[in-house]
């Protein structure tokens, strides 16, 4: 891997949409030795508006212009998954580090190609699985590593969500349920975060058995996934993700069962961690999130580029999550073929 030559990271962002309003790009201006110097969106008026509101000096309406801007030395690809491979190739060929939104790509094959082009170009590849750096998820990891609940036996994920309003109102405006753009449905969008974190917490998943289906019939991709899986460590897992439930059934809860206790936590919208052990401990930990949710991960990326640290989320780790999701949705993929 080529050594990053500069003493500061000067970011360019491809696709300054909603995720860049607060979650990610603004953090780039607040991290030491990091600047946001250019943004791009195909709609030039929107790119200009973003640049003016966020005080970014340069804006473009063509990605190639941003990628080849000599003042940009690292690129964040904040577009939907269908363009991740294309832009990663271009950024890598320009010799610049790549930071790409999640899920990493539409499928595992595209992930592997992204890894290869970056390795061939000698540039690092990072993916926006920021839960690996958030305080509530780090607390869970510390409890597990300290043996607080003994040996981990299994993990259970339950994700019940009512249908998103625009699913029924106007399906054409929602790229997250267009397989040609997203690769899958809301399972790929939300479940990817949960599965990637479990990879971080318990190691890689090596075996998957699952059924995916579309029960409501509103779109072409899965709206329910039921899976069993096994980690390389021997820990077992199960999960059900359904995105067309009733409001009263709405639930986001993962439970980790150990030989001496259990840990329960939500992955989205709430930030508590519940701990209960056989020796009488029953405690809820609560956490405040950073103003910009990707702040800590981007900090790690900047530190790695400057030779001062290491990012916990890379193309190699993120590709494993795509593999798991693909294994879990094989039945739907066969139906679409």
Name beta bridge partners: 231. Answer: 205
- DSSP conformational letter for 306: T
Q: Residue ranges per domain, the chain?
A: 9-131+293-306, 135-288+322-336
Separation between Cα atoms, residue 135 and residue 180, nearest integer Å: 35
Would you state the pLDDT for residue 170? Answer: 54
Is the Cβ–Cβ distance between 103 and 188 less than 8 Å?
yes
Report the alpha-carbon distance of residue 161 to residue 223 in Å, rounded. 10
Cβ-based neighbours of 308, under 8 Å, separated by 6 or more: none
Other CB atoms closer than 10 Å to residue 322's CB: what's the count? 28
Rounded to a whole number of angstroms, the CA Rg of the chain reads: 20
- CATH class of segment(s) 9-131+293-306: alpha beta
Q: Please report, in tens digits, the pLDDT of each residue of the chain (337 residues total).
A: 889 999 999 999 999 999 999 999 999 999 999 999 999 999 999 999 999 999 999 999 999 999 999 999 999 999 999 999 999 999 999 999 999 999 999 999 999 999 999 999 999 999 999 999 999 999 999 999 999 999 999 999 999 999 877 665 555 668 999 999 999 999 999 999 999 999 999 999 999 999 999 999 988 899 999 999 999 999 999 999 999 999 999 999 999 999 999 999 999 999 999 999 999 999 999 999 999 999 999 999 999 999 999 999 999 999 999 999 999 999 887 766 5
Residue 147 tokens read as 């043996």
Considering only the top CATH level, what class is 135-288+322-336?
alpha beta
- Three-state DSSP class for 116? helix
What is the C-alpha end-to-end distance of the chain, expressed in Å? Answer: 38
Burial group, residue 43, by CB count within 10 angstroms (0-12, 13-18, 19+): exposed
How many angstroms separate the Cα of 217 from the Cα of each of 108, 196, 223, 300?
Answer: 26, 28, 9, 42
């Amino acid at each position: 891997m080529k050594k990053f030559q500069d003493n500061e990271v000067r970011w360019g962002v491809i696709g300054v949409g909603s995720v860049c309003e607060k979650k990610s790009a603004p953090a780039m201006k607040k991290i030491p030795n990091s600047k946001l110097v250019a943004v791009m969106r195909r709609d030039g008026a929107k790119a200009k508006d973003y640049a003016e509101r966020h005080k970014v000096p340069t804006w473009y309406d063509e990605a190639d212009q941003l990628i080849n801007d000599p003042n940009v030395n690292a690129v964040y690809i904040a577009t939907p998954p269908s363009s991740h491979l294309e832009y990663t190739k271009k950024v890598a060929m320009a010799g610049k580090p790549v930071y790409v939104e999640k899920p990493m790509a539409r499928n595992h094959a595209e992930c592997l190609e992204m890894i290869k082009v970056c390795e061939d170009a000698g540039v690092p590849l990072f993916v926006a699985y920021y839960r690996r750096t958030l305080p509530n998820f780090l607390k869970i990891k510390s409890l597990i590593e300290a043996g607080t609940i003994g040996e981990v036996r299994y993990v259970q994920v339950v994700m019940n969500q009512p249908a998103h309003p625009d699913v029924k109102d106007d399906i054409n405006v929602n790229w997250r349920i267009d397989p040609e753009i997203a690769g899958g449905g809301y399972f790929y969008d939300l479940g990817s975060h949960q599965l990637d974190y479990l990879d971080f917490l318990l190691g890689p998943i090596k075996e998957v058995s699952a059924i995916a289906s579309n029960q409501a019939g509103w779109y072409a991709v899965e709206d329910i996934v039921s899976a069993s899986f096994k980690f390389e460590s021997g820990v077992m897992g199960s999960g059900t993700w359904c995105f067309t439930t009733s409001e009263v059934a709405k639930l986001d809860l993962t439970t980790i069962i150990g030989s001496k206790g259990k840990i329960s936590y939500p992955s989205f919208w709430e930030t508590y961690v519940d701990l209960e052990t056989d020796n009488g401990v029953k405690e809820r930990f609560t956490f405040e999130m950073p103003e910009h949710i990707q702040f800590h991960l981007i900090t790690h990326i900047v530190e790695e580029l400057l030779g001062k640290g290491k990012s916990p989320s890379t193309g190699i780790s993120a590709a494993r999550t795509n593999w798991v999701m693909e294994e879990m949705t094989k039945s739907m993929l066969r139906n679409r073929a």
